Amino acid sequence: MATFRKRSGSWQALVKKKGFGQIARTFDTKAAAEAWAKITESEMVRGIFVSKKEAEITTLSEALDRYEREVSSSKKGHRREKTRISLWKNHPLAKRVLASIRGNDMATYRDDRLKAGYSANTVRLELAIISHLFEIARKEWGMEGLTNPVKAIRMPSPPAGRDRRLGPEELEKLLECLSEEMGQLVRFALETAMRRGEIWGMTWEMVDLKKRTVTLPETKNGQKRIVPLSSVAVTILKERLNTQRIDGKVWDIGLDAISQDFSRACRMAGISGLHFHDLRHEATSRLFEKGFDTMEVSTITGHKTLQMLKRYTHLRAEDLAERMK
């Protein structure tokens, strides 16, 4: 049987039942306290009651600290995610307990960020942290009764995939403005469809010139990938053999310097709207144009879904028209 006590203008409901201990909650009115007690007792009788005590005393800020310590710290993208966590900890919602956060709170956050000019993808990533935090809290932190508020809202639509293709004349101009090593690296990217970080992180231990492969032990999606090498890619690597480093790295250039040098060369060559990552789009499209099927291309590029592969593939209509003759 529930009992009710008036305390400092509020009403406290206490429900005590064998096997569940004593559960208490405070409400503004006695009616609200009685309604909660009735539902709680009913759930206990039916054996479906799940305590929300932890979720009702843990603030979002406290949960974010634990999430960063136990979950985010082991992710490959921890540095970038740490920035998003800091953003959330400075938001007014961080002072609220987890059980009080609802879908409308997330919807308001989404709309405010979009109105402030942040991209849909940025907002999606920010909301994804909260969604994952709530799922971890439900499954691993003893907060089974918690509801994930992000699942109750519409996520911002992802941006359309870039469709920038690199023209033959643009490539010639670009190579004229690049150093010898950067020229090799750009041509290697076009032959392999590898990501910037994957190319930069290559060591000679990963390279097998006889089998014409590069083995990437851990890629962006956390899995190993073996990239086949074209004759052009093999020639480029053979050229690099004369510049072997003590640490076994294939390339001398730094990770950030790759993007910086590429952007600088584009400006010198008068090329606009081209990013280094567009070379992966270009290379993927070229693989299809060479006649490789979807499974073969996904094996080379490492794309896990057809949807992602489509976002990285932009076939020229005029080239398709030539094949239709």
Q: Which of 310, 320, 316 is nearest to 160 (CA)?
A: 310
3-7, strands of its sheet edge to edge: 3-7, 10-17, 21-27
281 is catalytic: no
Residue among 110, 187, 240, 312 flagged as catalytic? 312
Residue among 220, 249, 264, 275 flagged as catalytic? 220
Residue among 84, 225, 286, 303 flagged as catalytic? 303
DSSP 45-65: HHT-----HHHHH-BHHHHHH
Residue among 89, 249, 277, 314 flagged as catalytic? 277
Helices (H), 20-147: 30-46, 53-57, 60-70, 78-89, 103-115, 120-140
303 is catalytic: yes
Q: Which of 153, 168, 161 is nearest to 123 (CA)?
A: 153
Q: Are strands 213-216 and 207-208 parallel, antiparallel or unpaired?
A: antiparallel
Residue among 52, 280, 281, 286 flagged as catalytic? 280
312 is catalytic: yes
275 is catalytic: no
Query: Sign of torsion, CA 299 305 306 307?
Result: negative
Residue among 84, 138, 195, 286 flagged as catalytic? 195
277 is catalytic: yes
Query: Is residue 53 a contact partner of residue 23, using CB atoms and an 8 Å limit?
Result: yes
82 three-class SS: helix
Query: Is residue 293 a contact partner of residue 276, using CB atoms and an 8 Å limit?
Result: no
**Maximum distance among all Cα pairs of the chain, rounded to whole angstroms:** 85
- Nearest 5°: phi and psi at 24? -130, 145
> Active-site positions?
195, 220, 277, 280, 303, 312
